[in-house]
């Protein structure tokens, strides 16, 4: 079995899978100890990208048996950026459905906390902040069990 040193594929039941697996629900990051949803959630705006929205989407997904999902912080989400890739700047062996677009974080932007929040753009792997009324994606995260 080939094993990537950074990521482990996880089944919907929470079991580790070989790197060659073609069907998995989540990915555990061995470096950070975080578990990430394989599939992103499309959101109309940051306000709808609340923990309740994420929980609701995941409750009807392949991850229904796993709880504790939430929106990642900016610091957490940038750990998925792969500086050796672009469009998308993420390991597509583990996250094949990742759009080269922005993914919201739960971190509000200090210069305008009422209007703006941080995102990570996986087109080029940069983090920035923008108006919370904008659409985007969320990649749910949880602490590894």
Per-residue pLDDT tens digits for 56-99 = 676 667 776 777 888 999 999 999 999 999 999 999 999 999 99
- Give the pTM: 0.90
The Cα–Cα gap between 10 and 17 comes to: 6
The reply to whether 93 falls in a domain is yes
**Least reliable range by pLDDT among 38-47, 68-77, 92-101, 124-133:** 38-47
The reply to whether 82 falls in a domain is yes
The answer to whether 35 and 10 have CB atoms below 8 angstroms apart is yes
- Give the count of domains, the chain: 1
The reply to whether 112 falls in a domain is yes
- Predicted confidence at residue 1, as pLDDT, reads 41
The reply to whether 67 falls in a domain is yes
- Residue 77, domain extent: 40-143
- Predicted confidence at residue 46, as pLDDT, reads 84
Res. 41: pLDDT tops 50 = yes
**Strand ranges, E, within the chain:** 7-10, 16-17, 26-29, 34-37, 41-43, 102-108, 116-121, 126-131, 136-138, 141-143
Res. 27: pLDDT tops 70 = yes
The reply to whether 119 falls in a domain is yes
The reply to whether 31 falls in a domain is no
- Predicted confidence at residue 43, as pLDDT, reads 87
The reply to whether 7 falls in a domain is no
The reply to whether 87 falls in a domain is yes
Res. 144: pLDDT tops 60 = yes
Res. 35: pLDDT tops 50 = yes
- Predicted confidence at residue 49, as pLDDT, reads 75
């Amino acid at each position: 079995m080939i094993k990537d040193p950074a990521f482990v594929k996880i089944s919907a039941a929470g079991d580790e899978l070989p790197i060659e697996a073609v069907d998995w629900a989540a990915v555990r990051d061995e470096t950070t100890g975080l578990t990430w949803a394989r599939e992103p959630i499309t959101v109309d705006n940051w306000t709808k990208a609340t923990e309740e929205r994420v929980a609701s989407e995941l409750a009807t997904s392949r991850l229904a048996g796993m709880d504790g999902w939430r929106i990642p912080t900016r610091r957490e989400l940038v750990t998925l950026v792969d500086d050796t890739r672009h469009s998308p700047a993420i390991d597509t062996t583990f996250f094949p459905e990742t759009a080269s677009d922005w993914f919201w974080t739960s971190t509000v932007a200090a210069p305008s906390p009422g209007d703006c929040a941080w995102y990570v753009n996986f087109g080029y792997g940069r983090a920035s902040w923008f108006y919370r009324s904008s659409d985007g994606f969320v990649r749910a995260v949880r602490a590894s069990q």
